[in-house]
A and B are shown apart, each in its own frame.
Chain A
Amino acid sequence: MAMDVLIVDDSAAIRKILQRVLRQTEVPIGNILEAGDGLEALALLEQQKVGLILSDINMPNMDGLEMLSKVKSIEAYKSVPVIMITTEGNQNKVMEAVSLGASGYVRKPFTTEQIKEKLTGLV
């Protein structure tokens, strides 16, 4: 069954690239929702359940770590994979993401193959 996905990134370019990459994977993808920050993402998740979240860390209004923490506190999202995609090189932030429940981490710049591999391993 096709899975709906939420992409959270303040960069329109990254959202567009990830849309393309997702459509190229073997994983059956349904609707792809987009949010420009953590607040928008939480509002969308209240309206629609998704099976996978790809999120940046550094974003205005609400960053990816705060969003991740809030998402994982929602019962329905405890087992939904969240992959962080970011230029952030600070290992403390990466470790924090993992401790908050992130399923994986991809550093920008990324190749299409890196995203595909990460998805295939998770879904």
Chain B
Amino acid sequence: MDEKVTAAPTQEEIVNWVESATKEVFQTMLGLDATVGEHFIEEPDKGLSMGVIGIIGLVGDWTGTAVVSCSSPLACRVANTLFMQEYAYVNDEVLDAVAEITNMIIGNLKNNLELKLGTMGLSIPAVVFGRNFATRRSGKESWYVIRFDVDGERLDVQLCLTPNQLAGQNLKGMPRIMSLA
């Protein structure tokens, strides 16, 4: 098997690409400013416990998972603006809106990741919504967490990447989706 492993992007590159993709999607599609705040690397044992969470798997020579999470009010605001309808609470259409925003942010991020890591595919986005749940991340890889403020509401973009041990075997990879605990 080809042992070629490309160099991982630096943390600075990841943060810059996530920032640029997120800002562009919020500005273009929603007319909202997404202001980047703190960014850090988090150990895999931490998980999310509330809000609306969009999850997409990436697969190629490198594989990983990207997560976009936000509060329910921000999810409703995103849907209000995208669909020009009022959503007072999270329903299927709000989840569709968050799935699409996740798809666009990570799709644009993927275009930059591919410059360094080779061609990647994206899984179909999944969305989780609830309160008082616990999530667990499988694997030992650390996660990049980039935090944004959108009109006073928090939005996090999280990314985990690792060289794909199965690259070149023409296998369709499965995203390392956080399992609900």
- How many residues of B sit at the interface, in one of the four size bands? 20 to 34
Number of interface residues of A (CB under 8 A): 18
Contacts of B96 in A (CB 8 A): 11-13, 16
Contacts of A16 in B (CB 8 A): 82-83, 93, 96
Closest beta carbon of chain B to A118's beta carbon, Å? 15
CA distance A58 to B107 in the complex (A): 11
| Proximity string of chain B (101-145) to chain A, C-beta cutoff 8 Å, 1 when within and 0 when not | 001100110110010000100101000000000000000000000
CA distance A20 to B124 in the complex (A): 24
Q: Is A90 touching B100 in the complex (CB atoms < 8 A)?
A: no
Name the residue among B24, B97, B100 with the largest chain A CB count within 10 angstroms: B100
| Proximity string of chain B (63-80) to chain A, C-beta cutoff 8 Å, 1 when within and 0 when not | 000000000000000000
CA distance A31 to B107 in the complex (A): 30
CA distance A105 to B84 in the complex (A): 25
Q: Is B83 touching A17 in the complex (CB atoms < 8 A)?
A: yes
Q: Is B28 touching A109 in the complex (CB atoms < 8 A)?
A: yes
Interface residues of B in 31-74 (CB under 8 A from A): none
On whether A13 and B82 interact (CB within 8 A), knowing A90-B119, A109-B24, the answer reads yes
Q: Is B83 touching A89 in the complex (CB atoms < 8 A)?
A: no
Q: Is B104 touching A109 in the complex (CB atoms < 8 A)?
A: yes
Give me the interface of A with B, judged by CB distance under 8 Å: 10-14, 16-17, 20, 58, 60, 87-90, 108-111
- CB<8 Å pairs between A and B, sample of 27: A11-B96, A11-B99, A12-B96, A13-B96, A13-B97, A13-B99, A14-B100, A16-B93, A16-B96, A17-B82, A17-B83, A20-B83, A87-B104, A87-B111, A88-B107, A89-B107, A89-B108, A89-B110, A89-B111, A89-B114, A90-B114, A108-B104, A109-B25, A109-B28, A109-B29, A110-B29, A111-B29
